Structure 1
Amino acid sequence: MQETVLKPLIEQRADPYIYKHTDGWYYFTASVPQYDRIELRRAPTIAGLATADTVDIWTKPDTGPYCELVWAPEIHFNQGAWYIYFAAAPSREIKYKLFQHRMYAIRNTGANPLEGEWEFMGQVDTGIDSFCLDATTFTHKDQLYYLWAQKDHDIEGNSNLYIAPMKTPWQIEGKPIMLSKPEYDWETRGFWVNEGPSVVRRNGRIFISYSASATDENYAMGLLWADEDADLLDPASWTKSREPVFRTCYDHGIYGPGHNSFTYAEDSDTVMLVYHARTYTEIVGDPLWNPDRHTFVKPLRWDDKGMPVFGRPSTN
């Protein structure tokens, strides 16, 4: 198969999340460059998301604990309603509060989440009072799980990956279980980070992709996996890749791929990999405010052992 060098699907949208609903529509949300709101768009095809109208469905308040830096929203349909999970921080005017994000949820009970009212459900409290972000959810064997990144002050680094069952779609139940922490060289470049988890199920296994290191060209993705019949709350059930499964492609100039999600092709059960990446490395100023992390989409492939093959971020 001849490789095709990819172009962004949507420019200047980081932390992209595409959800294919049972109504046949694709729903897209991501971090906007201003970090001040949550926007949604939908289309009947993945390609159609690029030109779909956007709707601002929630805007941050002017003050309070979640009034700044709205990061990494994800849209899910859980137990009969739409939920968006996101992280936000207190005012930047308060020194040392810049990276004090906590996680929150909003809900819409309408058929179309671009319409109707979104209800603020409050903080998703993990029982650990520390920096946390990048929440996702998935249901397995009728149990809804919450999966996210959070700092442990007793562990070196910025964030680890945790899992917990959910009592409701906005409340976790039980003690968070740590599944992974930054430990390998490729996870600790610039920052010691495990973040941005996303779940895909295939071939009798549950896979969790995640991102690591600083959000420049060092950003890369790793993989955890467990047997679908294993106890998902037992860290021993999970195997972790020692090497990154997705990383910068210098040949074609696609840098720092990561913070991915998974969706499905229009006419098949082909898993599509959704991720952001930059197309240059010389970032002027604070990388946090650089808007040029773009959304890319490509097929995920599988080897003869049933493991995902991510390939290069620059080619299909």
Structure 2
Amino acid sequence: MLLAFGSLFAQHKTFQNPLLPSGADPFSTYHDGYYYYTHTLGDKLMLWKTKNLADLKNAESKLIWTPPTGTMYSKEIWAPEFHIINNKWYVYFAADDGDNNNHRMFVLENTSSDPFKGTWEFKGKIDTHPDRWAIDANVYNYNNQLYMIWSGWEGKTNGQQNIYIAKMKNPWTLEGNRILISEPTYNWEKQGDLDDAINPPHVSVNEGPQFLAHNNKLFIVFSANGCWTDFYNLGLLELKGDNPLGPQNWVKHSQPIFTKNEENGVYAPGHNSFFTSPDGTEDWILFHANDNPGEGCGTKRSPRMQKIEWNEDGTPNLGIPVSNKTILEIPSE
């Protein structure tokens, strides 16, 4: 009995990636003792609830919202994120009418303290100025001002994906014109399978931006390259100064900070989010990746997590993506 109990206890205190067999664009919010997790499903919004994110496969889940048919937001629902703003819950997501050219960002609101209860009200489209293709919204309160960052096109046709920022009047309304703060410039943001006849011939992509704050420093971690390539990776922007709306204040690091690791069998790691351990002493990254080369943007992308550290200069040290065989300790409680 003692051995059996000890084995069971160890299972609850350690885990191995991936957290689920499939799930792209993972995002988690920790609130009142629970992790609330979501990922891209394409046709609906689901929310998972668990005290132990490493045990996500056994988490309680709830269907939050199914879009009505025949609208500009009925299909291709991507990269949902659940945020708590002014004691209300908001979920941001991208969607279209079945034509990728029409992808825009949308938001729902729930005034209940428990996102599994209450009513999710459709607040509408996040209007960007100018109105252009937009996905991957992320929001953050910096110096008592709410900001949104996202990935979008410069014009009305697909050429490359850039990262934009705007101030917010409220959780569903942007203020002023969008401001460009990052576009693909380095080779590691533009490499890939240029001869792939199935996918777009370009791989100049900045997407999936995530705010990350630590010790009075503000960063944006973003995904680079097309998700259909094995070169999908993470880059870093660092705010120099205190004005996030100044493009010159965002300095891009010259090298990626998280890339594929063939030795560990992890390919195309990216579209991440961050969370802290329940006791607040550890910082963790949540990301998706493939187990084999050439698996692209499909359903083989699975969610993984691992602890991160911090460099002496205050920048995040994400390490390397660990093997699925690596036994990890769960976040500190």
In the superposition, the TM-score normalised over structure 1's length comes to: 0.90
Q: Residues 38, 179 of structure 1: CA spacing in aligned structure 2 closer, same or farther, 3 A cutoff? A: same
Q: What amino acid does structure 2 have at the position aligned with 1:293?
A: R
Amino acid at match of 1:53: E
Q: How far does residue 235 in structure 1 lie from its aligned partner after superposition?
A: 1.2
Residue number in structure 1 paired with 2:124: 122
CA distance in structure 2 between the partners assigned to 1:232 and 1:129 by the alignment = 21
CA distance in 2, matches of 1:19, 1:56: 17
Asked if residue 213 in structure 1 is aligned to residue 212 in structure 2, the reply is no
Displacement after TM superposition at 1:165 (Å): 0.9
AA at the equivalent of 2:81:
E
Which residue type is aligned with residue 81 of structure 1? K
Given the alignment of the two structures, is residue 40 of structure 1 paired with residue 47 of structure 2, yes or no?
yes
Indicate which of 236, 241, 244 corresponds to 1:223.
236
Matched residue, 1:295: 303
**Helix, strand or coil for the counterpart of 1:296?**
strand
Larger radius of gyration: 2
More deviation, 105-114/59-68: 59-68
Instruction: Report whether the alignment pairs 1:30 with 2:39.
Output: yes
Match of 1:252 among 255, 264, 271: 264
Closer/same/farther in 2, CA of residues 240 and 6 from structure 1, 3 Å limit = farther
AA aligned to 1:208 is I
Give the aligned CA root-mean-square deviation in angstroms.
1.9
Unaligned runs of 5+ in 2: 1-13, 193-202, 329-333
Q: Would you say the 8 A contact 1:149–1:162 is kept in 2?
A: yes
1:168 aligns with 2:170: yes
Equivalent residues in 2 for 1:139-218, closer than 5 Å? 139-153=141-155, 157-190=159-192, 191-215=203-227, 216-218=229-231
Q: Distance in 2 between matches of 1:171 and 1:207?
A: 23
Greater mean deviation of Cα atoms: 170-179 or 266-275? 266-275
Return the alpha-carbon distance in structure 2 between the equivalents of residues 275 and 29 of structure 1: 12
- Letter of the 1:269 partner, please give it: T
For 1:303, the aligned partner's letter is: N
Q: 1:5 to 1:141 in 2, by over 3 A?
A: same
Unaligned runs of 5+ in 1: 92-96
Q: C-alpha displacement at 1:61, in angstroms?
A: 2.1
Q: Distance in 2 between matches of 1:265 and 1:157?
A: 39
Displacement after TM superposition at 1:157 (Å): 3.4
Greater CA drift, 217-226 or 44-53: 44-53
Shift of 1:155: 10
- Residue deviations 1:139-177, cap 9 Å, x none? 011101111111002998321101111001000101111
Q: 1:186 aligns to what SS in structure 2?
A: helix
The code of the aligned residue for 2:138 comes to: T
Partner of 2:11: none
* Count of equivalent residues: 300
Partner residue of 1:16? Answer: 26
Q: Is structure 2 residue 240 aligned with structure 1 residue 239?
A: no
Gap change, CA 1:217 and 1:282, over 3 Å in 2 = closer
Q: CA deviation at 1:5?
A: 10
Map 1:69-80 → 2, pairs under 5 A: 69-80=76-87
* Deviation of 1:130 (Å): 2.0
Identity %: 36
Amino acid at match of 2:54: A
Q: Hey, what's the Cα distance between the residues in 1 that align with 2:166 and 2:294?
A: 39
Give the structure 1 partner of residue 316 of structure 2.
Answer: 308
Distance 1:107 1:210 in 2: 26
Which SS does the other structure have where 2:135 is aligned?
strand
CA contact (8 A) 1:157 1:182 kept: no
Paired residue type of 1:224: L
Moved more, 65-74 or 147-156: 147-156
Which deviates further from its counterpart, 44-53 or 301-310? 44-53
User: Post-superposition shift, 1:128?
Assistant: 2.2
User: Residues 130 and 177 of structure 2 are in contact (CA less than 8 Å); yes or no, is this contact kept in structure 1?
Assistant: no
2:91 to 76, 84, 90: 84
Counterpart of 1:314 in 2: which secondary structure? coil
CA distance in 2 between partners of 1:49 and 1:188 (Å)? 34
